[in-house]
Structure 1
Amino acid sequence: MFGTSGVRGRFGEEITAGLALSIGRALVADGADRVVIGRDPRTTGPLLADALAAGIRECGGEVTDVGMASTPTIARSVAWAGADAGVSITASHNPPTDNGIKLWTPSGMAFDADRRARITELVERETFEPAAWDAVGDRESFEGAIDRHAAAIAAAVDPVDGLRVLVDIGNGAGGVTVRALRSIGCTVETLNEGPDGRFPARPSEPTAENCTTLAAAVAATDADLGIAHDGDADRMMAVDKTGSFVPGDALLALFARDVADAGDQVAMPVNTSLAVEDALAAIDASVVRTRVGDVYVAEAAREDGVVFGGEPSGAWIWPAATLCPDGPFAAAQLAAFVDRMGSLADAVGTIEQYPIRRESHETTAKAAVMETVADRLTAEYDSVSTIDGVRVETDDGWFLVRASGTEPIVRVTAEARTDDRADELAAVGRSYVTTAIEAEG
């Protein structure tokens, strides 16, 4: 039922009011007496919130409702409200036809694998105990959660001196970023500020292709920095003052190098660029590789010695602040960084950019294909990781074979310090995949 970012899918098919009702019941059956709920602006959010709240209250649980807010606001509110769990009703960067349910602990971390499995079992068994008619739970509003989030960011980030920032909220729930940036001294203008769950201005995911309007606007003005969020603002990507979109690997390297000292570790998924590892090696820090998905990065980030975690897709975690990917907090941290450094473009220029190759291979037997590929690669290579797909390290690069979690596809990613070597490693990975697909017919 759960993927790497909660339950997510097309509304009316994978995601229904009935499912939300069952998850609400399951949370109480699993021991949650009080649950914080909130949602992004998607048109199906209010009815899913109502169904979820009904399931919680029917079983005697109390509901604290944040309303429409960013996912990190909701995740932080679990502890603020003294609750046992939190729920974001969001499909994050997915299209407006989709919605989803993501579950949070008081630490700000998403539910781990064990707790997701318990909720799944409870939903599938459908053995819930309704409360007596006079013991159903209440539903109350959490007033001021967004203001509290903005204040927490401002208290944790160094003030800046008049930095001009253009924020593309993408018609999502990231308006808290504007408040936080203004609180630390930024001059802020916005694009696509009005919440609209149809995401009419641009697709929700803040990729380079989807942020061309922001890039052009930053380049045409005197803005020092551009910020872009997805629908629920757990992701944050950036544009430098020249209007260039900053690659996620470069942004991860900059954040990591800014936080880490010698001996520290930074958590990142298996598909992250060598550039990050090289940037950390230069300061005698190191990396911890995780499965793809912010929950896995968060699990690693809570360990001693890990000072930062991130995914190149735009999820950034400062464990000293919260274990939730917090796009507004990341925006403020980046603004403070640019204020100190003077130019994001110059800072990006200090990060090596290596050639990377990505390709996809369709197969209806991806599990069998991955088993065959894993067996062969672990037998034939010395440095192999199987924590998420199969990643092979070489002296001058790496390649990763990994099955998609949602599509009938096996992906090959390869990176090296030269174009020719990246091509060679991609060809090696491809050969193992195509041979396994042919063997499966």
Structure 2
Amino acid sequence: MFGTSGVRGRVGESVTADVALSIGRAVGTDTDRVVVGRDARETGETLQAALVAGLRETGADVVDVGRAATPTVARSITDRSADAGIVVTASHNPPQDNGFKLWTPSGQAYSPDQQTEIEELIESKAYALADWTGQGSHESWAGAATYHKRALVEAGRAAAVDGSLSSLSVVVDLGNGMGGVAADALFELGADVETINAQQDGRFPGRPSEPTAQTCTTLAATVDAVDADLGIAHDGDADRMMAVTDEGEFVPGDLLLAIFGMEVASAGDSVAAPVDTSLAVSDALADIGVELVYTKVGDVYVADRAKDADVAFGGEPSGAWIFPEETLCPDGPLAAVKLAALAAAEPLSDRLARIERYPLRRTVVETDDKAAAMERIAAAVRESYEEVSTLDGVRVDTDDGWFLIRPSGTEPKIRVTAEAREAAATEELLDRALDIVEARTGRGSTE
């Protein structure tokens, strides 16, 4: 049921009101008070109603924040003295999808063990349903976004050189999603803010929800046209944040991870990132005495590692950034405020220019049985290489670079990634990895 980031899928197929009701009953069985919110998708209204019904049936009280960013809901759990938070969202997925993200009071997503417990409860239907006198209450709270904004403004003032962003002009592309709290916080911090795709609309008419170089061309053009200092882009539920420099260049996620890590971490600290992160990040951090520690792919794993005292920052190149001293939830608006403070102190283009860029190649091989194929692949890799990491899939590091073979968390595909400091070495590593995968699946790459 759970993927790398909650439950999500096509509405009317894998995501239905029945699924929402079951999740509500399962979560409510072990909690007393739950904060609930949703993104701008119209299907969220039906799903949230079923979710709330399931929670209340178990006697859990519900605090309903309505439409809100995922980090807004996650941050509200502690403030509302709740035990958990649930967001009805498919994050950056297309409008046909919806889903559910579950959060703990620390702001961390439900761990894999907690997710398994929910799945087992749903499968067994061993819910602790209340009688007619024990139904949970349902209250609305309109102050969640204001509460989140106050935290963002406080973080921005602490990060800015003089406590203000009055020297900064920024364009914020909300992607028709829930990230308006970021624009509000930047405005209150004194920045000159212009928004695009600001109308909340779960059909995402302005651009596809996921902020990538391909989907953020309008943002890049706008930053260039109005001579802004920075461009910010969020996904549908605003747990992700990507950026465009003052020169109108979309910043690759790995390099943005390096920029944040170099600013937040100090010599002796660690930065947590998934196992498919670019070699450019580890090289940039090593130059300042900071170690890059790898996790499985998925912000829940990055957040889990970020709980450790040695980790100053965690992030995924897809745009999920975790500042553990603030929250263990990927908070796109918080990342936006932090990056704005950096851009006000020094142009983002200058920071980006100091980081090496290496040729990285990704492709996929489709397969009908990922698990069996990965067993064969892992065995073959171990036969050929002495040192193999099996943290998430199989990764091999060589003198020239590295390659990673791992199953997709959501699709019938095996993902293959290779990177080296030189293009020829990258191609050689990718070819080696693909030879192993294709021989064990009987299929070639499709990307």
- TM-score of the superposed pair, with normalisation by structure 1: 0.98
One-letter identity of the residue aligned with 2:21 = L
Measured in 2, the distance between the counterparts of 1:317 and 1:364 equals 35
Matched, 1:396 2:400: yes
Q: Distance in 1 between matches of 2:403 and 2:442?
A: 21
Aligned: 1:18 with 2:13:
no
1:13-35 residue CA offsets vs partner (Å, 9 max, x unmatched): 11111111111111121x20000
Query: Counterparts in 2 of 1:41-440, with a 5 A limit?
Result: 41-157=40-156, 158=159, 159-341=164-346, 343-438=347-442
Shift of 1:224: 0.5
- 3-state secondary structure, aligned to 1:210: coil
Contact 1:355 1:422 in 2 (8 A): yes
Q: Deviations over 1:361-393 (max 9, x none)?
A: 122122222111111212332332111111100
Query: Shift of the alpha carbon at 1:161?
Result: 3.0
Equivalent AA in structure 2 for residue 206 of structure 1: P
Residue type of the partner of 1:23?
Answer: I
SS of equivalent residue, structure 1 residue 275: helix
Identity %: 58
Query: Which one is further off, 368-377 or 79-88?
Result: 368-377
C-alpha deviation, 1:47, in angstroms: 1.0
Aligned pairs, number: 438
Equivalent position of 2:3 in the other structure: 3
Give the distance between the partners of 2:221 and 2:228, measured in 1 at CA: 11
Q: Which amino acid in the other structure matches residue 181 of structure 1?
A: L
The one-letter code sitting in structure 2 at the alignment partner of 1:182 is: F
Match of 2:215, SS state, is: helix
Could you tell me which amino acid in structure 2 is paired with residue 133 of structure 1? W
1:215 is paired with a residue whose SS is helix
Runs of 4 or more above 4 Å deviation: none
Shift of 1:258: 0.4
| Partner Cα distance (2:301, 2:79) in 1 | 24
1:39 alignment partner in structure 2? 38
- When structure 1 is superposed on structure 2, of 32-41 and 359-368 the one drifting more is 359-368
Does the Cα contact within 8 Å between 1:383 and 1:394 map onto a contact in 2? no
Which deviates more from structure 2 when the two are superposed, residues 400-409 or residues 430-439? Answer: 430-439
Q: Report the CA distance between 1:162 and its aligned residue.
A: 2.5
Q: Is the 8 A contact 2:241 2:335 kept in 1?
A: yes
Deviations 1:198-255 (A, max 9, x none): 1111100001110011111111112110000000000000011221111101100000
The CA deviation at 1:313 is 0.5
Q: Distance in 2 between matches of 1:127 and 1:260?
A: 45
**Take 1:178 and 1:358, find their aligned partners in 2: how far apart are those partners?**
34
RMSD after superposition = 1.2
Which letter does structure 1 place at the counterpart of 2:315? G
Q: Distance in 2 between matches of 1:271 and 1:16?
A: 33
Kept in 2, the 8 Å contact 1:169–1:192? The answer is yes
Which runs of 5 or more structure 1 residues have no equivalent in the other structure? none
Contact 2:211 2:233 in 1 (8 A): yes
* Pairwise CA distance, 1:136: 0.7
Q: Which shows bigger deviation, 122-131 or 174-183? A: 122-131
More off after superposition, 140-149 vs 64-73:
140-149
Preserved CA contact (<8 Å) 1:266 1:288: yes
Secondary structure at 2:216's aligned position in 1? helix
